[in-house]
Amino acid sequence: MDPKAHNKLADDIVKMMVRPVLRAGGDPTEILVLLESIIVGVVSTLAKDGAEDHVLDAVVASAKKRMAEYRLKNMEPEGHG
């Protein structure tokens, strides 16, 4: 799957996950608990024989890197020259 299609699918999944919780009066904590359940489900499906920690560490490291890149891309430059 190419990155654009991957990001589009991820965006659709996030909307499907977040909107119903918020419409039902849920809060960010409930969304994070749902995310945790999804992570546990995916990791337990893919990682076998005790590899869960390795997979979780890799996913978190990658997510942190992507968040930093996202923040830098959307940051306004400081100063005027």
Structural domain containing residue 24: 3-73
pLDDT at residue number 79: 65
Residues 6 and 28: their CA atoms lie apart, in Å, by 24
Work out how many domains the chain is built from and give that number.
Answer: 1
In a domain, 81, yes or no: no
In a domain, 80, yes or no: no
pLDDT at residue number 80: 58
Residue 49 or residue 14, greater confidence: 14
In a domain, 78, yes or no: no
* Three-state SS annotation for the chain: CCHHHHHHHHHHHHHHHHHHHHHCCCCHHHHHHHHHHHHHHHHHHHCCCCCHHHHHHHHHHHHHHHHHHHHHHCCCCCCCC
State mean pLDDT over 30-55.
93
The whole model's pTM is what?
A: 0.75
In a domain, 59, yes or no: yes
